[in-house]
Structure 1
Amino acid sequence: MVNIYDNTLDNPNYYRQFSCGESLITLYNCPLKNKYQDVWCQHNYFIYVIEGTKRWHTAQGTFELTENTCVFVRKGAAISEQLSDDKFCLVMFFVPDDFICEVLKSKTSPIYRSDETFHTVMPIINDNYVQAFFKSIMHFFEARYEPEKALLELKFRELILTVAGNLNNREMLAYFGALLHEPQAISLQKVMESNYCYNLKLEAYAKLVNRSLSAFKRDFRKQFDTTPGKWLLEKRLIHARNLLVNTNKTVSEAAFESGFESVSHFSRAFRGRFGLTPISVKNPVFA
């Protein structure tokens, strides 16, 4: 999977970018290379679409991003799909959890924990304030000089306070409340439940929950009473079986959409767990 944050940092000549600490602004002006791409990021990010259409496929469903769409994407994995041969241009703001929390704590009106459900991709109301903000950002990319770091930090703060000030951004505000008030154990569980079906390494899961690898393994065992590897295998196999039984997915599609690196590995693990081959579950006549 492609880490879109690291990939951006590693290619400054390809992606025009400005950074302030771990926070990062970049302009993607993308010709079509691969229609589908598996992506993940250890930071949350905002997307503002300037041109083109893309879909983000997540564990909760599919979200279509079109021109002038603004969304907030919480850290984790997804599959991006470009819908045409035309270029796709967008502005992305990567913002770490701790920076978001620091800014939110400065608000005059506090954000509380909410029972509102939030998904991986959350729509942002594209009101006049949001449009004006992103128009101001485009001047950075048009200028020949690098903006001051202090100004960049102010722009990151402005973005978070602008969207958090609109009470109609209910999903995003629920997520912000979770960042501020949820215990780490609940956060770990939500990250794992949202991302188990992607082929991420354990080091990536550790980054998503803001832990070292050793701390992640220790806390995971304390909470789930098993190792991350065993838990992931079980969740992926059950997910794959549900895809085979309840959808038109092929064995190969079910394997890759459940986080397995290869069909052969998936088939061996599936037979070891259920005593049947994936094809016999998909087509009982072969059982």
Structure 2
Amino acid sequence: MTNVYDFLKYQPETYRQLVGKDLLMAYYDCPQSRQRDEIFTHHCYLTFSVSGSKWIHRQGKTWLFSAGNLEFCKKGGFIQEVFLDKGYRAVTFYVPDVYLKQLIQNFRHFYRGQPTTNQATEPIIELAMNETSTGFIQTLLNFFEQELSPTETILEERFREFFYSLLINPDNHTFVAYLNSLTDRPHTSLYEVMESNYMYNLSLEEYARIANRSLATFKREFKKLFVTTPAQWLMQKRLDYALALLNTTQKSISDIVFESGFENSSHFSRVFKDKFGASPLHYRKQKPLQTEAGRP
């Protein structure tokens, strides 16, 4: 899968970017050439849609990113669907977990909301903006148009003001709750990473990177947590997910293959038949379509 952070960072001559301390700020036109593609990032990010729109599909849900909106996206995999004839432009801020934790710890004593921890949140959170946050976006767009880039110190100061304006906005309580939960975790939750991303065709190295672990540490902790190997666990989870899509949707077999993380249709058909005793197509013909609640 394509790591969008690496894709942008290592092509500065093509995709405009500014760097401040641990931050990567990129201003770009979406280069995607296929209508739907699988993408991932090992950093959380905030993205402001400048023009156009696109669909993001994550964990069975869909979000529309449209011009003028700001979203916070957790790290991990997703399916991105674009309108190839219309284009999409965005400015995106990639922020490592360590830096996120520092920001929320530094600001905890200043914003009026009460810290809330351990609340489940969606993988994408739409954020409310005020005059300060809107002004920062415009300032940043102006920076990108200048020949001389601002210093890292100036960039970081402006970003911290922007971030603080988001924290004190009462409409962003879900965002604040998630950030607070990060500060109370010594490490990224391996369980959360796997449960949120098993349906994407990521390599073990990519799962380890999302979890902020070396590959060896990832494998060792995985075996201890799940009492099986990553390959066996992923196969079972993807088969169960594909079975649920077969039972509750009218998606095509090719779409189910794509959305369940399998390499290709032939591989999916073979392992599905081994597990359930029939090919996916034959299984669907035998079973009535169910609702998500399991009723015909």
Normalized against structure 1, the TM-score is what? Answer: 0.93
- Answering whether residue 162 of structure 2 is matched by residue 159 of structure 1, we say yes
Residue of 127, 131, 136 corresponding to 1:128: 131
Going from structure 1 to structure 2, the CA distance change for 1:21 and 1:265 (only over 3 Å counts) comes to farther
Aligned partners of 1:38 and 1:77 also within 8 Å: yes
Count matched residues.
Answer: 284
Counterpart position of 2:43 = 43
Residue of 111, 114, 117 corresponding to 1:114: 117
Task: Give the % identical residues.
Answer: 35
Alignment of 1:139-158 (within 5 A): 139-158=142-161
1:176-227 deviation line (CA, Å, top 9, x unaligned): 1221113647x21111111110000111111111110111111111111111
Counterpart position of 1:85 = 85
Counterpart position of 2:273 = 271
The amino acid of 1:5's aligned partner reads Y
Distance 1:43 1:95 in 2: 6
Alignment of 1:174-193 (within 5 A): 174-182=177-185, 184=187, 187-193=189-195
Runs (5+) with no aligned partner, structure 2 = 288-296
The amino acid of 2:203's aligned partner reads K
Aligned partners of 1:239 and 1:258 also within 8 Å: yes
Aligned partners of 1:22 and 1:95 also within 8 Å: yes
Aligned partners of 1:17 and 1:24 also within 8 Å: yes
Going from structure 1 to structure 2, the CA distance change for 1:261 and 1:22 (only over 3 Å counts) comes to farther
Counterpart position of 1:248 = 250
Aligned partners of 1:31 and 1:85 also within 8 Å: no
- Answering whether residue 220 of structure 2 is matched by residue 221 of structure 1, we say no
Aligned partners of 1:71 and 1:124 also within 8 Å: yes
The amino acid of 1:75's aligned partner reads K
Which deviates more, 76-85 or 135-144?
76-85
Counterpart position of 1:5 = 5
Runs (5+) with no aligned partner, structure 1 = none
Alignment of 1:275-286 (within 5 A): 275-284=277-286
- Answering whether residue 28 of structure 2 is matched by residue 28 of structure 1, we say yes
Distance 2:21 2:165 in 1: 21
The amino acid of 2:137's aligned partner reads F
Deviation of 1:81 (Å):
1.3
Going from structure 1 to structure 2, the CA distance change for 1:145 and 1:64 (only over 3 Å counts) comes to same
Distance 1:154 1:284 in 2: 61
Counterpart position of 1:261 = 263
The alignment yields a C-alpha RMSD, in angstroms, of 1.8
1:240-282 deviation line (CA, Å, top 9, x unaligned): 0111111101222211110001111111211222222212211
The amino acid of 1:284's aligned partner reads Q
Which deviates more, 124-133 or 276-285?
276-285
Normalized against structure 2, the TM-score is what? Answer: 0.90
